[in-house]
Amino acid sequence: MLSFVRRHKDDNLVPTLCDAPNLDPFGACRVCSVEVALEEGGPVKTMASCHTPVSEGQYIYTSTPSVQKLRKNIIELVLTDHPLDCLTCEVNGNCELQTVAAQVGIRDVRYPAGDNHLHKTKDLSHPYMTSDFSKCINCYRCVRACDEVQGEFVLSMAGRGFDAHIIKGLDQSFMESDCVSCGACSQACPTSAISDVFQSKAIQATETTRTVCTYCGVGCNLDVATNSGEILSITAPYDAEVNQGHTCLKGRFAFKFYDHPERLDSPMIKRNGEFEKVSWDEAYTYIADKFTHYKNTYGPDSMAGISSSRCTNEENYLMQKFFRAVLQTNNIDGCARVCHSPTALGMQRTFGTGAATNSIEDLKYTNCIMVIGANPTDAHPVTGAKLKQFAMKQDNVTIVIDPRRTEIARYADHHLALRPGTNVAVLNMMMYYIIDEGLVDESFIKNRTEGYEDFIKELMAIDIDKLEAVSGVPREQVKAAAIAYATAPNAMSFHGLGVTEHSQGTFTVMQIADLAMLTGNIGRRGVGVNPLRGQNNVQGSADMGVQPHQGAGYLDVTNPEINKRYNEFYGSELPLHIGYKIPEMFDAALDGKLKAIWIIGEDVVQTDPNTQKVIKALNATDLVIVQELFMTETAKQADVILPGSSFLEKSGTFTNGERRVQAVRQVVKPIEGTKPDGQIIVDIMNRMGYSQPDYTPDGMLEEISQIVPFFAGIKWERLGQNGLQWPVAPDGTDTQILHEQEFKRGLGYFEFHPWEETQEITQHGKDFPYILTTNRELEHYNCGAMTRRTANEQILKSDYLMINPADAESHLINDGDFVCIESPRGKVDVKARITDEVKPGILSTTFHFPDIMINNITGDVHDSEAMCPEYKVVAVRIRKSKGKFKSLLQDK
Ligand code: SF4
């Protein structure tokens, strides 16, 4: 009834305290009571309108004197137990209790003062979350936000009657509890009973700007509040289609890096081993002269670029254009190389398009999800929360394929805890059982695919005994999961880096696509293959041509027709041969062939495998240009540093993991001394003699829409609040579901791939018997350069090693001890966290902290097709640390 009244009359006609836009109706406060009759003038009944269904023929009286009296009485009772300190309260002027009290006409409270809860103490234990339960009105909004939005169940109501009160965990502080700091409770709370240190509900802001989060590929919309050019706080807009009023702690709270004192604020050139601040003009001349010299002396392929998923589509487009049109080389690559390049390649081979087939919204229409090689509640938290909500519902089926018992695995109906490196084995077993059980979608296979005859012949010859043994997953478990997936009316798959960062990463992606085709789970709502893209704009950077084999719009650089088109469009002669992928750039540097490299917003020293090799490669390159926000480990190796801008200081677009191109809007001016990355690239293009207009998002999008076919209808002014999902037709019509009638390549392509043991194990497994996998933690992102410069650092201070209790016991390792992990590349010391989340023989750690530098021990094995490094299988041995590194860390 409440929604009905709001929709047809007025949003503010019926007041409420416990209702919130992203929560289910609850009926705690009764302030929304209305009178309902079944005939005009007939007897009325008072009902809470928020959770009473509306039906035909009802007469709803929203403002009768008796209803108004009831509302006023409720608020008076609430106010008898509420501190009347409005003038000094943080939410004064933006307090829903204050607003409703005014709305119902409270002038005084008729009840005498009685027992109350005004003595409750504040909880200031947490770097972000605060509480002051003297202001609590027991509306349950925070509890419901924690349950219904985040699915964390940290907040609950204890006590009965007058003693009823909100508790965190087992009546702990925010810091002691399992709170994940998403801030959903704070945003839901109508008073300041739960708030945050940025006082995001206060009204100091003079302006609010809608933009998009810089961290992960979910692409949450953020409302950024500012006053006099200073960012005050961030909240999540309820009308955002991507995140509907939710964020994780990175999007909502981890923004203070933007004006951190350590921001680089001047171009610098390294002379005699020391960085010297120089003017932009001097830096540009230095770079342009060097590039011109290398081009003339060693040829265009002596230079390479690594662009950034942190940057906008327009900036990535410019970076690849600079390398292709100005330097005339295809040596341009990006971080997709080390994360989802196998996804792009594998899905292109099978479907013709290397992007998510569906949208996250399709979770509403599916019956089964298969999450493989992904830990979404840490790495893609807002989507992770939705997947978790799905998994918790009774009739839904959830399959998790992951070596770790991740949070979502705990809710799964089927958890296939395979040995790292055996995805192909398990997926082949699944497909074997689907075919064996006669569960294939024959008509889909017949009408929409090719290659099935050869595929099935090879697949049905697999050795189940062997695959069961190597994967460590009992065949009955695999069969049950296969049947669950194949018999669900609609099944969606979600995969992450646990699929791609393997020697058989591309083949695994192709198998996930095969599984979808085998069961007809493609081309409609609630199905499909949905990679969980890692960094915020990794999808967009590849779309814009930041890869050495395909230019902007995934067009083949070796195709003469396409080459002609690019040449005409760019007014230059582009090369027809494929350029270096990132690992090949480092190899070329070590071979003396690479003279210059320009790296934007990517800390390759900390995040790429085999750190020492990367450092050697950079040292072997004559000119290393690093465009960055901070002095990262890679920036330290630079010859020239260019200070770029954060997402809060520039405009453009990011493309999220569901192909949604969204507007990033400048919130504040770039920090003094820095420039938007796009403008830096434009300046250097012009300095090199190529005429490129100044960087503007609308101007760049106009150019992009002329060369990238699926951006044809994307114009800055069309993006609105929720963006557009590509492909976008010239008239602006976008696409939520791909491959509805036919695949981009025509017919979907089946191709069988047998499981093969990775070289990392065949070569080193005997001497290094443990398998280490690397992963991400909720609090930090990638190299952590940004999140480590926020209060997230107080929540998670260091990388740690997950180790099974049995392994810890056999090495006499206690929780918190430092463990020396040694691989054929080197050793590092990491603190142990003993947990049965990993099985015996398996170790897991993160790579967010440079003092640990876990990539000192990761290796050079990579995906056979896309050259994505195999971070997920590192052969290691362990022992309790003798203390060499431990003392270093303790000193810090
Ligand atoms: Fe959303 Fe990802 Fe940003 Fe968290 S990090 S707010 S999930 S986009």
For residue 149, how far is its CA from the centre of ligand 1 (angstroms)? 14
- Dihedral of CA 636/638/641/642: which sign? negative
For residue 172, how far is its CA from the centre of ligand 1 (angstroms)? 27
Is ligand 1 within 6 A of the CB of residue 247?
yes
Nearest CA to ligand 1 atom 4: 248
313, 539 contact by CB (below 8 A): no
pLDDT at residue number 886 = 45
At residue 888, does pLDDT exceed 70?
Answer: no
Entry pTM: 0.94
For residue 648, how far is its CA from the centre of ligand 1 (angstroms)? 15
Nearest CA to ligand 1 atom 3: 251
Instruction: Give the pair of three-digit tokens for residue 828.
Output: 């590092």
> Average model confidence (pLDDT) for the chain?
95
At residue 890, does pLDDT exceed 70?
Answer: no
Q: 341-367, pLDDT tens digit by residue?
A: 899 999 999 999 999 999 999 999 999
Please list the helix, strand and coil fractions of the chain in percent, rounded to the nearest 5, in that order: 35, 20, 45
Ligand 1 atom having least distance to the Cα of 215: 5
Q: 650-668, pLDDT tens digit by residue?
A: 999 999 999 999 999 999 9
Ligand 1 atom having least distance to the Cα of 216: 2
Closest CA to 500 of 488, 490, 510: 510
Q: 257-312, pLDDT tens digit by residue?
A: 999 999 999 999 999 999 999 999 999 999 999 999 999 999 999 999 999 999 99
Using alpha carbons, list the distances in angstroms from residue 59 to 9, 42, 56. 14, 9, 9
Is ligand 1 within 6 A of the CB of residue 467?
no
Is ligand 1 within 6 A of the CB of residue 687?
no
Residue 588 DSSP code = H
Instruction: Give the pair of three-digit tokens for residue 242.
Output: 């991507």
At residue 748, does pLDDT exceed 60?
Answer: yes
Is ligand 1 within 6 A of the CB of residue 220?
yes
Given ligand 1 and candidates 210, 216, 646, which is best to mutate, with the most ligand atoms within 8 Å of its CB? 216
Given ligand 1 and candidates 181, 375, 382, which is best to mutate, with the most ligand atoms within 8 Å of its CB? 382
C-alpha 409, offset from chain centre: 19
At residue 243, does pLDDT exceed 80?
Answer: yes
pLDDT at residue number 618 = 97
The region that residue 723 occupies, defined by phi over 0 for left and psi between -120 and 50 for alpha, beta otherwise, is: left
At residue 892, does pLDDT exceed 80?
Answer: no
Rounded-to-10 torsion of CA 241, 352, 562, 865: 110
- Confidence bin at 884 (pLDDT 50/70/90): low
Nearest CA to ligand 1 atom 1: 220
Q: 586-613, pLDDT tens digit by residue?
A: 999 999 999 999 999 999 999 999 999 9
- Taking residues 3-14, what's their average pLDDT? 91
- Confidence bin at 631 (pLDDT 50/70/90): very high
Which of the residue ranges 8-12, 238-242, 402-406 would you say has the lowest mean pLDDT? 8-12
pLDDT at residue number 860 = 87
- Taking residues 186-213, what's their average pLDDT? 95
Instruction: Give the pair of three-digit tokens for residue 874.
Output: 């590192």
Using alpha carbons, list the distances in angstroms from residue 339 to 264, 403, 542. 27, 18, 12
Q: 634-649, pLDDT tens digit by residue?
A: 999 999 999 999 999 9
pLDDT at residue number 829 = 94
- Confidence bin at 401 (pLDDT 50/70/90): very high
Ligand 1 atom having least distance to the Cα of 251: 6
pLDDT at residue number 337 = 86
Given ligand 1 and candidates 149, 243, 248, which is best to mutate, with the most ligand atoms within 8 Å of its CB? 248
Is ligand 1 within 6 A of the CB of residue 786?
no
Q: 127-171, pLDDT tens digit by residue?
A: 999 999 999 999 999 999 999 999 999 999 999 999 999 999 999
Is ligand 1 within 6 A of the CB of residue 684?
no
Is ligand 1 within 6 A of the CB of residue 485?
no
